[in-house]
């Protein structure tokens, strides 16, 4: 014999499902709000090609460091600063792509042997490192 169904048999599972969906929607909204506010501080980046070599000043035969921007997004690039680790060595205004920037006194401050350099470009929208690496100075 089949028992007759009660009126309230299907109500509890429906309410439970609605509550689970509502809780999920609220959690997704909270998590997405937190993630979007974290991503708000990310700025634009500039991809810039750079060539760093040791050169010699033709006039005095002093050693120098030559930094050449070979291409990329140089929009708003104002100057180039050379750092030895965290110590600022020298700053030179940016002229144009393909023109070597001569850091004459930089070699004397850096010394000889392997030197870790960071080259930072001062862009209109903020500073960005455009080269980090070791160069062997003689």
Q: Tell me what pLDDT residue 7 has.
A: 64
b/e per residue 129-138 (b: at least 16 CB within 10 A): ebbeeeeebe
User: The CATH number of the domain where 83 resides is what?
Assistant: 2.60.40
User: Is 27 a member of any domain?
Assistant: no
> Could you tell me the sign of the dihedral formed by the alpha carbons of 25, 31, 33, 35, in that order?
negative
Q: What CA–CA distance (Å, rounded) separates 69 from 67?
A: 7
Task: Indicate whether 122 pLDDT > 60.
Answer: yes
Copy the structure tokens of residue 130: 């455009």
User: Is 54 a member of any domain?
Assistant: yes
User: Is 32 a member of any domain?
Assistant: no
User: Is 9 a member of any domain?
Assistant: no
Q: How confident is the model at residue 62 (pLDDT cuts 50, 70, 90)?
A: low
Give the count of domains, the chain: 1
User: Is 71 a member of any domain?
Assistant: yes
- pLDDT tens for each residue of 70-86: 988 888 888 888 888 77
Copy the structure tokens of residue 24: 């999920």
- pLDDT tens for each residue of 80-115: 888 887 777 778 888 888 888 887 655 566 667 787
Domain region containing 92: 48-137
> Could you tell me the sign of the dihedral formed by the alpha carbons of 9, 15, 16, 17, in that order?
positive
User: Is 56 a member of any domain?
Assistant: yes
Q: Tell me what pLDDT residue 45 has.
A: 78
């Amino acid at each position: 014999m089949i028992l007759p169904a009660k009126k309230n048999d299907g109500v509890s599972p429906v309410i439970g499902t609605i509550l689970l969906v509502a809780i999920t929607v609220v959690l997704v909204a909270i998590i997405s709000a937190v993630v979007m506010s974290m991503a708000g501080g990310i700025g634009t980046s500039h991809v810039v090609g750079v060539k760093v070599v040791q050169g010699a000043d033709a006039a005095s035969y002093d050693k120098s460091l030559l930094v050449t921007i070979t291409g990329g997004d140089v929009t708003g690039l104002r100057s180039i600063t050379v750092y030895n680790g965290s110590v600022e060595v020298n700053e030179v205004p940016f002229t144009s792509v393909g023109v070597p920037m001569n850091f004459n006194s930089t070699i004397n401050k850096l010394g000889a042997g392997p030197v870790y350099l960071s080259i930072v470009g001062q862009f209109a929208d903020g500073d960005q490192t455009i080269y980090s690496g070791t160069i062997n100075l003689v």
